[in-house]
Amino acid sequence: MTTSTVEDYLKCIYQESQRSGNSLISTGQIAAGLKVAPGTATAMMKTLADSGLVSYEPYSGVRLTPEGARLATHVLRRHRVVELFLVQVMGMNWSEVHKDAELLEHDVSDRLIDRMDEMLGRPTVDPHGDPIPSARGVLKEKDYPSLLLCGLRAPLRVVRVTDQETGFLLFLEGHGIMPGNRIEVLSRDEAADSLMVRPESGKSFSLGFRAASKILVETVA
């Protein structure tokens, strides 16, 4: 019933809400996120509103209805289960699975997703540390600090990387930065807009604040 384009819009709205911490999303954000013309996003918001998937207030923005959120988390679940499957079962690299998952998320049947989920042992996070919504669509986002806000010179564990670009992920992997790995932030320099990271295994290196903000960690006991 719902087309794959609609799924993309819902997913975008959901993730934009998550990221910004605000459930009201402007058509401009959506247009930028999906790389479509502003008018295209506006038009789509009207049809989504007609389908009861978002509530739309002109010049203000949209927000997902419960039904819209349900669909969005289901797409997200499919995406993340597929990503983990590609890494765990198919032996692909975490840096290269996003694009494939982006395509498959629209066409993998629930039956197949559940089969994957089962094979993977009902996992809770994907290869980037992104949480996997339950089959019922429940998603619990934990609030981890990024390298910008965590403690200095304290043992940390990488729990999540909020970027899907292959190049960036390969760079991180090359420096030993992957979910599960231990690292430490040696210093931060506001003026230089950069900080020094020391991975457990590997040489310490510097990271710009923008990149650092995408690496989420938890303190190790």
- Residue pair 113/101 in contact (Cβ under 8 Å)? The answer is no
Which class for 24: exposed (0-12), middle (13-18), buried (19 or more C-beta within 10 A)? middle
What's the rounded Cα separation, in Å, for the pair 73 and 62?
17
Q: How far apart are CA 122 and CA 1, in angstroms?
A: 28
Q: Site for DNA (CB under 7 A): which residue of 18, 40, 134, 213?
A: 40
Q: Tell me the two tokens of residue 87.
A: 């890494």
With CB cut-offs between 5 and 8 Å by kind, which of a second copy, DNA, none does residue 43 bind? DNA
Closest C-alpha among 25, 11, 42 to residue 164:
11
Nearest approach, Cβ of residue 19 and a second copy (Å): 26
Structure tokens at 200: 């457990």
* Residue 28 sits in the site that holds DNA (CB under 7 A): yes
CB nearer a second copy, residue 100 or residue 218: 100
Residue 28 interaction partner, one of DNA, a second copy, none, beta carbon < 5-8 Å per kind: DNA
Site mask, a second copy, residues 62-101, x = CB under 8 A?
------------------------x--xxxx------xx-
For 93, 117, 130, 133, the CA distances from 123, given in Å and listed in that order, are 18, 7, 11, 10
Of 11-19, 112-120, 170-178, 208-216, which segment contacts a second copy by CB under 8 A?
112-120
Q: What angle do CA 12, 18, 19 make, to 5 degrees?
A: 90
Q: Which is nearer to DNA, 58 or 121 (CB)?
A: 58
> Is the Cβ of residue 26 or residue 95 nearer to DNA in the bound state?
26
Is residue 12 a contact point for DNA (CB under 7 A)?
no
CB of 140 vs DNA, minimal distance in Å: 29
Within 10 Å of residue 142's Cβ, how many Cβ atoms?
11
Q: Which residues bind a second copy (CB under 8 A)?
A: 86, 89-92, 99-100, 103-104, 106-109, 111-112, 115-116, 119
Binding site for DNA (CB under 7 A): 3-6, 26-29, 31, 35-47, 56, 58-61
